[in-house]
Structure 1
Amino acid sequence: MFWFILGGWLAIAPTAVANSFGTRNYARNYGFLFTAYGVGAVVSSVTSGIIKDFFGSYIYVFYPTIASAIIGILIVVLLLKEKKDLKTL
């Protein structure tokens, strides 16, 4: 199931970047997003291993994951503004 979700994200990400930031700087913005994704994958893998070694269980890995998800949701809700469709005005 995880790999299906990962594949879905990789399919949606280019369109989401174009819709969110426009096509003018699409390549640069997508590059930043994909680089951040790679850094996050490496850092989270190492951090998960350290947490598992320290506490002896992977259950404690979910606490920073939950906190990160809540922070991400708050950022999106507070900073993402919906674009007005000029065709309907």
Structure 2
Amino acid sequence: MTAVAPSTRARVRRPASSPACPACPNRRRPGQYLCPSCWDALPAAARRALNERGDQAAALARLRQLHQQLTDGAPPHGIEITR
């Protein structure tokens, strides 16, 4: 049997691990703020505010509001985001 050079071996691609949801023990998708079940539990007004495009500084402030309320122990259905 002949040895295969390292450069010609098939490389195994491993998926990056998903980040943890800040509101529960589930995993969220990369690029998402929360896991799908916690996102669905947010009030519609909070989801709209977090989806709002435009001013990047305002978007970061809304994201900070979300994380602060979750850190303070608020459940996803009780989150309020001001614009």
Same fold (TM over 0.5): no
TM-score normalised over the length of structure 1: 0.30
TM-score normalised over the length of structure 2: 0.32
Higher helix fraction (1 or 2)? 1
Greater relative CO (CA pairs within 8 A, separation 6+): 2
Q: Between Structure 1 and Structure 2, whose CA radius of gyration is higher?
A: 2
